[in-house]
Amino acid sequence: MNSPSQAHVEIEKLEEEFDVETAKELAAAFLEDTNDIVAKIANALTSGDLEACRKHAHMLKGCCRVIMANKCEKIASDIEVLVSTGKVDDVKIRLPELSQAFTETEEFLGHYLE
């Protein structure tokens, strides 16, 4: 698996920590549980529901941590902190970066599960 997105998910470590079957189950669960999470973060931000925005970012951070999607986890964590500190404009700036990292993670996991 020499995808450029591989750097976004440490799949070998995940397989070592668990096993290949469990890693694939975790990857599938991630895709199912987070399929619209970036949209939820954006919609909560747009509607001014900062608590929902923070909760969605927190949930994504945790899901990324489980599958070792480090880049996406870091951005979600940053967004969670920015929302918590009321830096909404900074969240808006970071949202495209989160969306890109999440898309790359989704694509990598999709290929991994094929």
Three-class secondary structure of residue 35 per DSSP:
coil
Domains and CATH numbers, the chain: 7-113 (1.20.120.160)
pTM here is 0.91
CA distances from 52 to 13, 37, 89, 102 (A): 32, 11, 16, 19
Predicted confidence at residue 84, as pLDDT, reads 96
Predicted confidence at residue 7, as pLDDT, reads 56
Residue 107 burial (CB < 10 Å; 0-12/13-18/19+)?
A: middle
| Regions of the chain with pLDDT less than 70 | 1-7
